[in-house]
Structure 1
Amino acid sequence: MLTDTEKNAIREHYQTIAGNLPNFRPRTAQRQMLAAVANAFSRSKNRQEGEETVVRDGESIAVIEGPTGVGKSLAYLLAGGIMAQTRGKKLVVSSATVALQEQLVGRDLPFVVQHSGLQLSFALAKGRGRYLCPYKLYQLTQSHAQESLAGFETPSVLWESKPKPNELALLRDLADAFHERRFNGDRDTWQEAIDDTVWFKITNDRHGCLKTACPNRIECPFFLARETLENVDVVVANHDLLLADIGMGGGVILPAPANAFYCIDEAHHLPKKALSQFAAEHSLNQALWFSERIATVTNKIAAVTDKTELANLADEAASSLLESLQEWLFYLADTPELSAHADTNESTWLWQDGTVPENLAALVNNTLLSARALLKNLNGLNDALSAARRDKGQDNLLLDRLTTELGLMLARAEQVEAVWSLFATTTAEDEAPLAKWVTRKTTDKPDYIFHASPVSAAASLVNGLWRQAAGAVLTSATLRSLGNFDLLLRQTGLCLLPETETLTLESPFDFSKQGELYIPPLIASPKDAAAHTAEVAQWLPQLIHADEAIGTLVLFSSRKQMQEVALKLPESHLPLLLIQGDLPKNRLLTQHREAIAAGRASIIFGLDSFAEGLDLPGDACVQVIIAKLPFAMPDNPIEKTQSRWIEQRGGNPFIEITVPEASIKLVQAVGRLIRTESDYGRITILDKRILTARYGKQMLACLPAFRRIG
C-alpha cells in the first residue's frame, strides 16, 4: 500500500515542477499515470523470514497505454524514482531505441532533477560488447603494455586471417588514444565507426575476462561503468541489455530483479526483442575454424596446469565436433531446399513444426554431445587456469594471455552448444514448437547458418522477469490492439499473471478539431498489386499540392510499391520528393524541415520504420497518407512455424496475429500526424479494405476520433 509519505512526496515534487515552469500544464492523464506507477510498485512483495521464494502473480505489474502528449517519461521517472528510494530498490528504465535512451539521460532525467527538487543519480547502462578491453588491446598492439609482455608474439588465435595494415593502424590509434585518456573505451564515443571485425578482437568478453586478476582492471571501462551503476538510483538500459541480463539469470549486468523496479518504455517491442534474445544461431564456417584451432590453445594450457588428460578430452571433443560439422557440410551441399537462388544469394530450409528429419536425428544428437563435451572440458581448463593463477610461483602474464585465448574459444563453444541444445529439444504436444532452420549464404565465402528459436517468449519472460522482479510498469503509446491488451499480454506471458493491472490513458489532443480522416473511393484492391499501385500514383497528385508549403508523409508497406509510385509521379512533384533509403535518415529529415522553413512543399516516402518514432510537429507533417494497411505476411521461419502451430490447434493466424499486429502498426502510422496540441492535418488511407472488410472496420474503430470527410 502507498504510504502517506510517498503520496506527499509525489504530490510535492510534481507541484514543484508546476511552480518552476510558467507554461507547465498539469494533465489529468499524467496524474493518473503517476498514481498507477506508484500504486503498482507499492504492491511489491518482499521475501518474508522463513520463505524461500516470493510468489508473484502480477500484483506489482501495470501495463499502461499512454498516447503521445501525456508526458509518460516524466510520470514514470518521478513516481518510479520516489518509490525506488523509499522502498530501497533501483529504478531500471528500459527502452527499445538508443535515441530514447539518450533522451532519458540527456534531457528527461536532468529535467526531473532540476525542476522537481528530487535528487536522483542516474547512469546509462551498456553491455560488455560496447566497451574496450585494455588488456586485449595492449596484447595486440604491445603499446603501453607491461615490459614483460614485449616478448610475446601477437596472439594468432585472435585473428581468423592475417590482419590488414589499416586494421593494425586503427588498433594503434585506439591504444594511443586510450593510454592518453583521449578515448574512454566506450565504442560509441570513438569519432569514427569501428568495424566489427576489429572491435570483436578488443571488446570486453565475460569468458576471457580476467576480472580482479587483470593487470589493467583499474582502467577497465566496463568495470568502471559497472561501479557507477552500483551507486546510482536510476539505471537507463535498453531491451536487449535487459533481456541479456535476464537470460544469464538476472543481476549480472543490471541490478538483480528482486531489487529492481522496472519501467519498460516502448514495451510493444519487448516480445520480438525477447524472441531474438532467447534464440541461437551459429555459422558452420566459424564453428569449423575454431574447432580446428582448439588444440593450439589446450596444449599450451596443459603445459602450465598439468591438466593433460582434461586437455586431451577437450581435443577429442573438438575432433568429434569437427567430424560432425564436416558431415553436415557434406549433407547440406546436396539438400534441394538449399539450392542457391540467383536473385537473393540466400536459401532457407525450414524444418516443419521444428521436428528433426528422421534421417538426421543421430547426427543432431552426435553434434550436441560433442558440443556439450567440448564446452564442459573447456570450462574445466578455465577453472584450472584460475587455480594456477592463485599459485604465486606461476607466470601470471602467460596465464592471463592463455585465459584470454581460451575465453574466445569458450564463447564460440557456448554459442554452438546453445544452438544444438535447441535443435535437439522436443516440445510437448500442447506447447508451442521451436522454429529450426538452416540458411545457405552464397555471398563472398559460401556458408551455412544453423538457427533455432522459440516462437513465443512468454514462458521465458514469466519465469525470468515477471515472477522475479520487485515491480514493473510497461508503457507505450500503442499497447492495445483492436481495442484490448490481449495480444501484448499473450506475447509477454502476463496473461498468466491474473493480478496484472491494465490502464488506458486519454489523449490530451482534441482529434475531432485537430484532424480529419479521408478514405477516397478507390476501385483497386491491394491484392491486385499493379492496379493498386497505379491508382495510388493517380491519387497522390490530387491529394498533395505542390505549391502548398507543408510537409506530407506517405507510408508504404513495400519498397517495391514505393519505388514504382515514385516513378509515376508527375514532374511537378519530383523536386519535392525525399525517399527513405536515398539519404541517411537524419539528413533526409533535415532537408525536409529546411524545405518547409523556406516556404516550399516537401514529401517524404517512407516504409515501416518511418511509421513509428518519427516526430515532425507543426507544418513539417500536415498530411499522412497510408498507401496500404500494414499487414506483414508470415514470411520468416519463426512466423511460419507459429502460424502452422496455430492452424493445427484450429486457430486462424491471420485473425489471431496478423490483424492485431497490423492494427497496432496502423495506429502508430496515424500517430505521426498530431504530435502537439497545436498540430493539425489530415489522414488519408488508400486501401478500401478499411471499409469493406470486417477486420478493416475493427481497425478503423481503433483510430483516433478524427472528423470524417468525403
Structure 2
Amino acid sequence: MNNRYVVIDVETTGNAPAKGDRIIQIGAVVVENHEIVQRFSSFVNPEVAIPPFIEQLTGIDDSMVQDAPLFEEVAPTLLTMLEGAYFVAHNVLFDLNFLQEEFQRCGYATFQGPLLDTVELARLLFLQADGYQLNQLADYLGIVHENPHQADSDAEVTAHLLISLIQKLVTLPLVTLQRLQPFLTKMQSSLEEIVSDIMAEKAKTHHEERGFDYYRNVALKAYEPLQRIEEDDEPVPPHQDVLQAYATNMAYYEKRSAQEEMMDLVSEAMNDHRHAIIEAGTGVGKSLGYLIPALLYGKKEGRPIIVSTHTIQLQQQLLERDIPLLHEMMPFDFHATVLKGRNHYLCLRKFEQSLDDRSDDNYDTNLTKAQLLIWLTETEQGDVEELSLSSGGKIFWHQVKSDANSCLNHRCPWFSRCFYHRKRREAQVSDIVITNHALLFTDVKNDAQLLPAYKEVIIDEAHHVEEVVSDHFGVQTDYFQFARLLERLGLDPENGLLEKLYSLLEDVDVPEVLPLLEKLCKELPALKMEIDDLFRSLRSYVIAKNKGTMNDFGRLSYRPQASDLASTHWQAIVEMGQRVRFASKDSNTLLKKVTKALQDREEHMNTYQQGVVTDFEGVRAKLEEEYKGLFYLLHIEHEDEVTWIEVEAKGAKNAVYLFSKPISIHDLLADEYFAKKNSVILTSATLSIKSSFQYVMERLGLLDFGPITAGLPSPFNYKEQVKFMVPTDVPLINQVDQGAFIRDIAEKLHQIAHVTKGRMLVLFTSNDMLRQTYQRFKERTGNDEFVLFAQGVDSGSRARLTKNFKKFEQAILFGTSSFWEGIDIPGDDLSCLVIVRLPFTPPDSPITAARGEKLRQEGGNPFMELALPQAIIRFKQGFGRLVRSKRDRGVVFVLDRRIIDTRYGSAFIQSLPAVPLQKEKLPVLLDDLKTWLAHK
C-alpha cells in the first residue's frame, strides 16, 4: 500500500465560495504507508472581514490573518503536495470546492485527482459510531482533538481518522472486499483502486482469514452456538446467602436495605405463586433486586425467567451492566439473552438476494448494502439497533429485515445461520430471557409461539403496560403501508417483484402464470388509484371537521355506523372503501393464483427463485392483512373500542392514519395473562398515587388476584439534595393567550438559567409550545450565552441530544414526550429541571376521551380516576430525571400554578419524595437558590 493521501481542511468566511466567501486558514497533512510524513498549515489573508459568527466558531479574528500570505502565495505549495495524490477531507466537497474556486481565481489549474471523503468512509466502516462529526469520531477512536474548527488540528485528526479507516479496510476478509466492489463505484470516494490493491495483497497469501464463517460467498463473524448448561445436584442457595458471600468477597459492595427488601418480596411472590406490584424509587437498585431472587428461583425450578422492559436502553443496561455483575455473584453458571421482535433482525436470504439486484440503484441503497456486508463481519446479533442507517438505508432495511410472511424456515439455505432463529434457539437454552413489552404481548396474542414456555415474569417499566397492550390488541393502518407494499410488488413489469417473476418465467416453465401477471399489471395501478382517492378523501374530511383548530395534525374520533357520519362526504368515503375492498379482493385472488402455480413448481427452482416466490407470497399476505384492517376500521362497528383518524396538516395529501384500540384491557389481561401465570412481578419507579396502588390494579385487571404490593422509597436524601420551587408570578395559561404565556415562560427560563448557569432540562407537554418557547428563548439570549438543544428542532435521537447536552457546561435541553423518562444525566451535567406544565394527557386524545366516557357511564369520575392518576405518574417520571445518585444536587421548578392553586394539586406533591415546597415570586426564589448553590 504505497498510495499517497493529502488530507486538507480549510476554515472560511462562510459556506459559499461562488458568492465571495474566502479561505482564512489551511491545514494539510500527507499520509503514506499508514504514517504521517508531512504537515503544512498557514493562515490566509482573505482580503475581506471575518464575520463575527466565524470568529466565534474558529477563534480566528482579523488581526490573526492581517499579515498572513494571500492564497496565491500558498497555492504552489498545495499543488505540489497534491500532485499524484488522493485529495482527502471530512466532507470532501466543501473543502475541495473552496480550493478549486481559489485555484481558478489565481489562474492555476484545478485539482483533477481522486477523492476520499472521511465522512462517507466512516459511515461505511464505523457502523456503531455515535455520530460522524469529526469530534464524535475522534472520541470514538480515542484521537486527541486539541483545537476543533482550526484547520491544522482538524486536518491532523482527519489524517489519523483516515489511517484508522484504511487499516479497517485491510482487516476485511477477501470475500467481503470482492462483494463490496460493485457498490464502491457508486460512492463519492474513489475506493476502487485502494480496495483492488488490498485484494491483490490478500490473494498472494491464498488462505482465508480466521474468525469468520464463509458461506455462500459471504463472510460472517464466526459464532459458537449457545449450549444448555447441564444441571448439577448442588442445592440452590437462598438470595441472602448469595448476598452475604458477595459482600464478604467484595469490599466495595454497598448494602441497600430497600434492595434486599425487594429481593425478599420477589422471592416470596414466586415461591407462593402470587403476583406483585413493587414501586422502587431511584437508587434502590431494582434491577438486581429482582434479577437475583428470580434467577435463583428459576434455577431451582428448572424454568426460564422472562424479564420484559419497555425501552431498548434498559435492555442494554441489563445485559451490559447487571448481567455481568450477576455472573460475579452467582455460585453457578447461567445464560442470559436478549430476544426482540423479528423485524429487528436481518434476513440473510433476502440480503443475499438483494446483492445481485440492481433495480434499486440509488446511492443510499448501494451504501447500505456495502455497510451491511461489512457489518456481517462484526455482528453476532444481526440487530438493526447496532446500526446508524440513513433515512434511505432505513427504507432498504424494510426489504431485507426478517418477517414471518416471507420466511422459508427449514427450507432456507441460511436457516442455520439466521439471526432471528439463532436468538430464539439461544432463548430456549437461557435461564434469563430479556425481551420487551411489545414482544411479550405479541406472544400472548400469538398463543405463546415466540418466547420459551414460562410461568414467571418480571415486567420492568410496568407503568407502560396498559398502553402497550392497548396497541397490540388494536388495529391500525395507514396510506404508507399500502404504498410501500404495492411499490414492493411493482406496479408495472419494469420494477419490483413482478419484474423478478417475469425473469423467473424465462427459466421455469409455468405457462399459466404469464396471463395472470399481465392482468395484474393492469389491475394494480387501478387499485393504487382507488387507494389514493380514498386516503385523500379521508384527509380532506378530517381537515374540514377540524377547521380552524388544526395545528400540525388533526384527529377525528368516529364510529363506522354512527348516524352523525351520514353526511354526503362520509358516504362517499364509505363507497370508496367498498370499491377498494372489491378491487383488493380481485387483485388478491390473482396474486393467490400466481403464488399457487409457482409453488407447485418450486422443485424446479433454485434457491434464489424460491426466495422470490416466498417474498411475493409474503407481500401478498401482508397486503391482505392491511385490506382486512382497512375494512375493519371503516365498516365494522366496535362496541368496546375507540376508532379514530389522524392526518398531518403539512404532510402529503394522502398522509392518513387509522386506529382502533380497546377502551379497557383489564378483563383481557386478567383472563388471558395473569390467570395463566404463576407469578408476574410488575415494577417501576412510578406505580403508586399517594402511596396507593389502587389505580394500577384497576387499570391492569389485578384486583381479584390480591397481589403483593410494596413501595420502596429511594435512599436519597431529597430534603438535602433537592430544592422544589413553584413561582407564584407565572400566569395561568387559561387566563392569557398562548403567546403571552410563552413570552413569560421564556423570560423566566432565562432568569433561572443565569442562576444555574444552564445545565437545565426543560420538560414540555406540547411540541408546539416547546418550539415556540425555544425560539423565544433563543431570540432573548446572546449567541454565546447558552448552548441550546431542542427535541424536534435539532436532528438526532434522544440519546444523541442527551449526549451532546452533556458536552457543554452552559447547556439547556428542551424536551417533550420521551424526555420525561428513561434519560439518565447524573452529576453536575444536570442541576436544574423545569416542568413547564403538569403533564395531563391532551383532552383530544381519542383513547383517553373514550376511557373517560366509559368511566362516566359507569358512574365514575374521569378526571379523578383517570386523567389525574395518569398525570401524577408522568409527573413523578419527570421529577425523577434530576436526582440519579447520592451525589446529585439541584432544583426542580414547576411553572404551572395549578400545583398550588387547585385542590387536586396536592395529589402531585404528596406522590413525590418528602421534599419541602417553596412558593414565592421568582426573584425571591432565585435569591434563595443562589445562596443554596453557593454552599454546594
Q: TM-score, normalised by structure 1?
A: 0.80
Assess if the C-alpha contact under 8 Å between 1:434 and 1:453 holds in 2: yes
Picking from 697, 715, 719, the partner of 1:508 is 715
Alpha-carbon distance in 1 for matches of 2:799, 2:620: 40
Cα offsets for 1:386-408 (capped at 9, x unmatched) = 7765xx67766544431221112
In structure 2, relative to structure 1, the CA distance for the partners of 1:15 and 1:116 (3 Å cut) is farther
Q: Does 1:202 align with 2:400?
A: yes
Q: Does 1:124 align with 2:333?
A: no
Offset at 1:213?
A: 0.6
Q: Does 1:268 align with 2:493?
A: no
Alpha-carbon distance in 2 for matches of 1:189, 1:324: 39
Counterpart secondary structure, 2:452? coil
The aligned residue for residue 490 of structure 1 is: 698
In structure 2, relative to structure 1, the CA distance for the partners of 1:67 and 1:574 (3 Å cut) is farther
The aligned residue for residue 224 of structure 1 is: 422
Alpha-carbon distance in 1 for matches of 2:850, 2:904: 24
The aligned residue for residue 297 of structure 2 is: 83
Query: What amino acid maps onto 2:862 in structure 1?
Result: P
Offset at 1:235?
A: 1.2
Alpha-carbon distance in 2 for matches of 1:575, 1:233: 53
Picking from 600, 605, 619, the partner of 2:828 is 619
Offset at 1:201?
A: 1.1
Q: Does 1:62 align with 2:259?
A: no
Residue pairs, 1:21-32, within 5 angstroms: 21-32=250-261
Query: Larger radius of gyration, structure 1 or 2?
Result: 2
Query: What amino acid maps onto 1:169 in structure 2?
Result: N
The aligned residue for residue 104 of structure 1 is: 318
Assess if the C-alpha contact under 8 Å between 1:38 and 1:79 holds in 2: yes
Q: Does 1:579 align with 2:579?
A: no
Of the two structures, which has the highest relative contact order with CA contacts closer than 8 Å and spacing of 6 or more?
A: 1
The aligned residue for residue 250 of structure 1 is: 448
Query: What amino acid maps onto 1:18 in structure 2?
Result: A
Offset at 1:67?
A: 0.3
The aligned residue for residue 105 of structure 2 is: none
Q: Does 1:173 align with 2:374?
A: no
The aligned residue for residue 432 of structure 2 is: 234
Offset at 1:493?
A: 2.7
Alpha-carbon distance in 2 for matches of 1:504, 1:6: 32
Alpha-carbon distance in 2 for matches of 1:679, 1:519: 21
Cα offsets for 1:614-668 (capped at 9, x unmatched) = 3233333333332322222132333343344444555443333221111112222
In structure 2, relative to structure 1, the CA distance for the partners of 1:562 and 1:304 (3 Å cut) is same
In structure 2, relative to structure 1, the CA distance for the partners of 1:583 and 1:382 (3 Å cut) is closer
The aligned residue for residue 631 of structure 2 is: 420
Picking from 471, 494, 503, the partner of 2:679 is 471
Offset at 1:211?
A: 0.5
In structure 2, relative to structure 1, the CA distance for the partners of 1:406 and 1:91 (3 Å cut) is same
Q: TM-score, normalised by structure 2?
A: 0.62
Offset at 1:595?
A: 4.3
The aligned residue for residue 702 of structure 1 is: 911
- The runs of 5 or more residues in structure 1 that have no matched partner are 45-59, 143-153, 156-161
In structure 2, relative to structure 1, the CA distance for the partners of 1:618 and 1:18 (3 Å cut) is same
In structure 2, relative to structure 1, the CA distance for the partners of 1:561 and 1:324 (3 Å cut) is closer
Alpha-carbon distance in 2 for matches of 1:449, 1:279: 13
Alpha-carbon distance in 2 for matches of 1:179, 1:558: 41
Assess if the C-alpha contact under 8 Å between 1:66 and 1:476 holds in 2: yes
Cα offsets for 1:525-564 (capped at 9, x unmatched) = 1323445444444544554444x66833333333444455
Offset at 1:206?
A: 0.7
Picking from 513, 522, 531, the partner of 2:729 is 522
In structure 2, relative to structure 1, the CA distance for the partners of 1:176 and 1:38 (3 Å cut) is same
Assess if the C-alpha contact under 8 Å between 1:263 and 1:474 holds in 2: yes
Offset at 1:322?
A: 7.7
Assess if the C-alpha contact under 8 Å between 1:354 and 1:435 holds in 2: no
Q: Does 1:665 align with 2:874?
A: yes
Cα offsets for 1:574-628 (capped at 9, x unmatched) = 71343323364555544554445xxxx5444433433322323333333333232
Assess if the C-alpha contact under 8 Å between 1:122 and 1:234 holds in 2: yes
Alpha-carbon distance in 2 for matches of 1:651, 1:11: 45
Offset at 1:121?
A: 0.8
Name the stretch that deviates more: 293-302 or 340-349: 293-302
Offset at 1:95?
A: 1.2
Counterpart secondary structure, 2:308? strand
Counterpart secondary structure, 1:467? helix
Offset at 1:516?
A: 3.2
Counterpart secondary structure, 2:727? coil
Offset at 1:108?
A: 0.6
Alpha-carbon distance in 2 for matches of 1:682, 1:423: 50
Q: Does 1:281 align with 2:476?
A: yes
Assess if the C-alpha contact under 8 Å between 2:686 and 2:873 holds in 1: yes
Alpha-carbon distance in 1 for matches of 2:680, 2:479: 40
Query: What amino acid maps onto 1:446 in structure 2?
Result: N
**RMSD of equivalent CA atoms:** 4.2
Offset at 1:483?
A: 3.6
Offset at 1:260?
A: 4.1
Q: Does 1:451 align with 2:646?
A: no
User: Percent identical across equivalent pairs?
Assistant: 24
Alpha-carbon distance in 2 for matches of 1:560, 1:437: 20
Query: What amino acid maps onto 2:285 in structure 1?
Result: G
Picking from 595, 617, 626, the partner of 1:406 is 617
Assess if the C-alpha contact under 8 Å between 2:823 and 2:881 holds in 1: yes
Counterpart secondary structure, 2:892? strand
The aligned residue for residue 214 of structure 1 is: 412
Offset at 1:175?
A: 6.5
The aligned residue for residue 355 of structure 2 is: 141
Counterpart secondary structure, 1:92? strand
Assess if the C-alpha contact under 8 Å between 1:65 and 1:480 holds in 2: yes
Offset at 1:61?
A: 1.6
Alpha-carbon distance in 2 for matches of 1:689, 1:105: 42
Assess if the C-alpha contact under 8 Å between 2:542 and 2:554 holds in 1: no
Assess if the C-alpha contact under 8 Å between 1:178 and 1:184 holds in 2: no
Query: What amino acid maps onto 1:283 in structure 2?
Result: D
Cα offsets for 1:18-38 (capped at 9, x unmatched) = 223323232221112111112
Alpha-carbon distance in 1 for matches of 2:365, 2:528: 31
Alpha-carbon distance in 1 for matches of 2:560, 2:591: 34
Residue pairs, 1:549-698, within 5 angstroms: 551-566=759-774, 567=776, 571=781, 575-581=785-791, 582=794, 584=796, 585-586=798-799, 588-590=801-803, 592-596=805-809, 601-698=810-907
Alpha-carbon distance in 2 for matches of 1:397, 1:230: 30
Query: What amino acid maps onto 1:525 in structure 2?
Result: L
- The runs of 5 or more residues in structure 2 that have no matched partner are 1-233, 920-936
Alpha-carbon distance in 2 for matches of 1:118, 1:190: 34
Query: What amino acid maps onto 1:16 in structure 2?
Result: A
Q: Does 1:189 align with 2:418?
A: no
The aligned residue for residue 52 of structure 1 is: none
Name the stretch that deviates more: 287-296 or 21-30: 287-296
Alpha-carbon distance in 2 for matches of 1:684, 1:274: 34
